A and B are shown apart, each in its own frame.
Chain A
Amino acid sequence: MSITAETAKQHANDPAVLCCRAEAGTELTPANFEDPAIFPDLVDSGLLNLDGALKLGQVLNGSKLTKTVDSLTPITPDIVDKFDAAEEEAEEAPAAEEAAAAPAAAPVFAAPAAGGYISLHIGEGKDIDIQIPTGIGGGAVAAPVAAAPVAAAAPAAAEETGEAVVVREMTRKHYKIDKVVLGDETKIEGTTLYVRKAAATEGADAQKLVHSLELDVITPDNYHVYSETVMDIQPIATKEDDYELGEGVTRVLDGVVMVVTGITEEGVQVGEFGSSEGYIDENMMWGRPGAVDKGEIMIRAHAVIDNKKNMERPGPIAIHTAVDHVTQEIRNAMKKDLTDDMVVETQTMKQVRRPGKKKIVIVKEIMGQGAMHDNFLFPTEPVGVLGAKPNVDLGNVPVAANPLEVMDGCIHALTCIGPASKEMSRHYWREPLVYEAIHDDDVDLVGVIFVGSPQANTDKFYVSRRLGQMVESMNVDGAFVTTEGFGNNHVDFTSHIEQIGKRGVPVVGFSFCAVQGALVTGNKYCDAMVDNNKSMSGIENEVLACNTLCHEDAIRGLAMLKAKMAGETIKAPERQYTHAVKENNVELIEKAYGTKMELVENEQSLPISEKRKAKYD
Chain B
Amino acid sequence: MENIQMLLKQGAVGRPCAPVVAVGDKVKKGTLIATPTGLGANVHSSVYGEVVEILEDRIIIKPDEEQPDEYVKIAKGSNLEMIKEAGIIGQGGAGFPTFIKIYNGKDDKPVLDHGYILVNASECEPGLAHNIQQIDEDPAALLRGIHYLMEIAGADKGIIAIKKKHRETIEKLDALLKDDPAIERHLLPDIYPMGEERAVVRECLGIELEPDKLPSAANAVVINSETVYSCVSAIEDQKPLIDKNITVRGMIKGGSEAHVFEKVPVGTSVQALIDRAGGFDERGYGEVIMGGSFTGKATELDAPITKCTGALLVTRPFRDLHGAKVGILVCACGGNLERMEDLVAKYNGTVGHVCYCKQAAEMPNGTRKCERPGNCPGQVKNNLEFKKAGCEYIIIGNCSDCSNTVMASGPKMGLKVMHMTDLAMMAVGHPLYRTLKVSKKVDQDLNVVDNVEDNETVQ
Taking A21-B401, A47-B409 as contacts, is the C-beta distance between A2 and B377 under 8 angstroms?
yes
Interface string of A8-43 (1 = CB under 8 A from B): 000000000001110100000001001100100110
Q: Is A356 an interface residue (CB 8 A)?
A: no
Q: A21: which B residues are within 8 A, CB to CB?
A: 376, 401, 404-405, 408, 436
A119 with B440, Cβ < 8 A, contacts A46-B412, A47-B412, A137-B381 known = no
**Cβ of A20 and Cβ of B381 under 8 Å apart?**
no
Is A72 in contact with B376, judged by CB distance below 8 angstroms? no
Question: Which of chain B's residues has its CB closest to A42's CB?
Answer: B380
Chain B residues with CB under 8 Å of A182's CB are none
CB neighbours (8 Å) of A34 from chain B are 378, 380
**A71 touching B404 by the CB < 8 A rule?**
yes
Known: A21-B401, A71-B408, A72-B409. A38 touches B380 (CB 8 A): yes
Decide if B409 touches A20 in the complex (CB within 8 Å). no
The closest CB in chain A to the CB of B413 belongs to A45
Closest to B330 in A: A119
B436 and A19 form a contact (CB under 8 A): no
Cα(A71)–Cα(B383), bound, Å: 13
Instruction: Identify which of B356, B378, B436 contacts A2 (C-beta below 8 A).
Output: B378
Whether A140 pairs with B401 at a CB distance below 8 angstroms is no
A243 on the B face (CB < 8 A): no
Q: How far is the CA of A21 from the CA of B384 in the complex (A)?
A: 18
Contact mask B427-451 → A, CB, 8 Å, 1/0? 0000000001001110000000001
Say if the beta carbon of B358 comes within 8 Å of chain A.
yes
**A131 x B362 contact (CB < 8 A):** yes
Q: Which residue of B lies closest to A37 (CB)?
A: B381
> Is B388's CB within 8 Å of the partner chain A?
yes
Are A115 and B401 in contact, CB atoms less than 8 angstroms apart? no
Asked if residues A19 and B377 are in contact (CB atoms below 8 Å), the reply is: yes
Knowing A46-B412, A119-B354, the reply to whether A140 touches B381 (Cβ < 8 A) is yes
Q: Does A116 contact B (CB under 8 A)?
A: yes
Q: Is the pair A1, B413 in contact by a Cβ cutoff of 8 Å?
A: no
Chain A residues near B236 (CB-CB < 8 A): none
Known contacts being A46-B412, A71-B405, A117-B356, is A140 close to B385, with CB within 8 Å? yes
Q: Quick check: is A70 within 8 A (CB to CB) of the other chain?
A: yes
Interface residues of B in 395-417 (CB under 8 A from A): 401-402, 404-405, 408-409, 412-413
Q: How far is the CB of B223 from chain A (nearest CB, A)?
A: 30
CA of A42 to CA of B402, assembled, Å: 18
Nearest CB in chain A to that of B383: its residue? A47
Given contacts A20-B401, A23-B439, contact A115 B381 (CB under 8 A): no
By a CB distance below 8 angstroms, the chain A residues around B436 are 21
Task: Please tell me the number of chain B residues within 8 Å of chain A, measured between CB atoms.
Answer: 29
Given contacts A21-B404, A70-B408, contact A140 B380 (CB under 8 A): no
In angstroms, how far is the closest chain A Cβ from the Cβ of B401?
7
Chain A nearest CB, measured from B377 CB (Å): 4
Shortest Cβ distance from A114 into chain B, in angstroms? 11
Given known A45-B413, A72-B408, contact A19–B356 (CB-CB < 8 A): no
Interface size in chain A (residues, C-beta < 8 A): 28
Cα(A23)–Cα(B354), bound, Å: 30
Contact B378 A23 (CB under 8 A): no
Interface pair B376/A140, CB less than 8 Å apart: no
Could you say which of A20, A41, A117, A131 has the most chain B C-beta atoms within 10 Å of its C-beta? A20
Q: Which of B354, B375, B405, B440 counts the most A-chain CB atoms under 10 A from its CB?
A: B405
Q: A505–B43 Cα gap in the complex (Å)? A: 64
Give Cα A319–Cα B354 distance, bound, in whole angstroms.
39
Which residue of chain B has the shortest Cβ distance to A131 in the bound complex?
A: B362
Given A2-B358, A71-B404, CB of A20 within 8 Å of CB of B413 = no
Which residues of chain A are within 8 angstroms of B412 by Cβ–Cβ distance?
45-47
| Residue ID in chain A nearest B387 by CB atoms | A45
Q: Is B439 in contact with A115, judged by CB distance below 8 angstroms?
A: no
Q: Which residues between 337 and 377 of chain B lie within 8 Å of chain A, taking CB atoms?
A: 354-356, 358, 362, 375-377
List, in ascending order, chain A residues with CB within 8 A of B356's CB. 117, 119
CA distance A214 to B306 in the complex (A): 67
Chain B residues whose CB sits within 8 angstroms of the CB of A70 once the complex forms: 404, 408
Contacting pair A20 B385 (CB below 8 A): no
Instruction: Give the CA-CA distance A42 to B358 in the complex, in Å.
Output: 19
Provide the A135-165 mask, 1 if CB < 8 A to any CB of B, else 0: 0010111000000000000000000000000
* A38 and B381 form a contact (CB under 8 A): yes
Alpha-carbon distance between A47 and B413 when the two chains are bound, in angstroms = 8
Q: Which of B375, B384, B405, B451 contacts A140 (CB 8 A)?
A: B384
Whether B378 contacts A71 by the Cβ 8 Å rule is yes
Give the one of A1, A2, A117 with max B CB within 10 A: A1
Q: Which residues of B contact A45 (CB under 8 A)?
A: 384, 387, 412-413
Task: Collect the chain A residues with CB atoms within 8 Å of residue B387's CB.
Answer: 45
| Residue of chain A at shortest CB distance from B404 | A21
Residues of B within 8 Å of A38, CB to CB, are 380-381, 384
Q: A1 touches which one: B375, B377, B401, B409 (CB < 8 A)?
A: B377
User: Which residue of the partner chain, among B380, B405, B440, contacts A47 with CB atoms under 8 Å?
Assistant: B380
**Chain B 137-156 interface mask (CB, 8 Å, partner A; 1/0):** 00000000000000000000
Q: For residue B355, which residues in chain A have a CB less than 8 angstroms away from its CB?
A: 119
Pair B439/A41 contact, Cβ less than 8 Å: no
Which residues of chain A have C-beta atoms less than 8 A from B385's C-beta?
139-140
Question: What are the residues of chain A within 8 A of B354 when measuring CB–CB?
Answer: 119
Residues of A within 8 A of B380 (CB): 1, 19, 34, 38, 42, 47, 71-72
Query: Which A residues from 43 to 93 make CB contacts under 8 A with B?
Result: 45-47, 68, 70-72
Q: Are A19 and B405 in contact, with the CB atoms below 8 A? A: yes
Q: Quote the shortest CB–CB distance from B325 to chain A (angstroms).
A: 16
B450 shortest CB reach to chain A, Å: 11
List chain B residues, Cβ under 8 A from A140: 381, 384-385, 388
**Cβ–Cβ < 8 Å partners of A72 in chain B:** 380, 408-409
- B381 partner residues in chain A, CB cutoff 8 A: 1, 35, 38, 137, 140
> Inside 8 A of A68's CB, which chain B residues have their CB?
439, 451
Q: In the complex, which residue of chain A has the Cβ closest to the Cβ of B453? A: A68
Q: B354: nearest residue on chain A (CB-CB)?
A: A119
Contact A19–B378 (Cβ < 8 Å)? yes
Per-residue interface assignment for chain A, residues 531 to 565, with 1 indicating a CB less than 8 Å from any chain B CB and 0 otherwise: 00000000000000000000000000000000000
Closest to B400 in A: A21
User: How far is it, in angstroms, between the C-alpha of A117 and the C-alpha of B440 when the chains are bound?
Assistant: 27
In the bound assembly, the distance between CA atoms of A116 and B381 in angstroms comes to 12
Residues of chain B within 8 A of A119, CB atoms compared: 354-356
Say yes or no: A23 contacts B376, CB within 8 Å. no
CB distance from B196 to the nearest CB of A (A): 18
Q: State A19–B402 Cα separation when bound (angstroms).
A: 10
Docked complex Cα distance between A38 and B384 (Å): 9
**Beta-carbon contact of A71 and B409 below 8 Å:** yes
Cβ contacts under 8 Å, A35 to chain B: 378, 381
How far does the Cβ of B361 sit from chain A's closest Cβ, in whole Å?
9
Residues of B within 8 A of A71 (CB): 376, 378-380, 404-405, 408-409
How far does the Cβ of B384 sit from chain A's closest Cβ, in whole Å?
A: 6
Distance, CA A31 to CA B379, complexed state (A): 13
Residues of chain B from 305 to 329 with CB closer than 8 A to chain A in the complex: none
A20 with B384: in contact, given A45-B413, A47-B409, A119-B356 (CB under 8 Å)? no
A452 and B354 CA atoms in complex are apart in Å by 30
A2-B359 Cα distance, complex, nearest whole Å: 10
Query: Bound complex: CA of A498 vs CA of B424, how far in Å?
Result: 48
**Distance (whole angstroms) from the CB of A438 to the closest CB of chain B:** 43
Interface residues of B (CB under 8 A from A): 354-356, 358, 362, 375-381, 384-385, 387-388, 401-402, 404-405, 408-409, 412-413, 436, 439-441, 451
Given contacts A1-B378, A20-B401, A45-B384, 19 further A-B contacts (CB under 8 A): A1-B358, A19-B376, A20-B378, A20-B379, A20-B404, A23-B439, A34-B380, A35-B381, A42-B380, A45-B412, A47-B413, A71-B405, A117-B356, A119-B356, A131-B362, A137-B381, A140-B384, A140-B388, A141-B384
| Interface pairs (5), CB distance under 8 Å | A21-B404, A70-B408, A71-B408, A115-B358, A140-B381
Q: Give 8 nearest A-B pairs by CB, closest first.
A: A19-B378, A71-B408, A20-B376, A71-B405, A1-B378, A116-B358, A2-B377, A20-B405
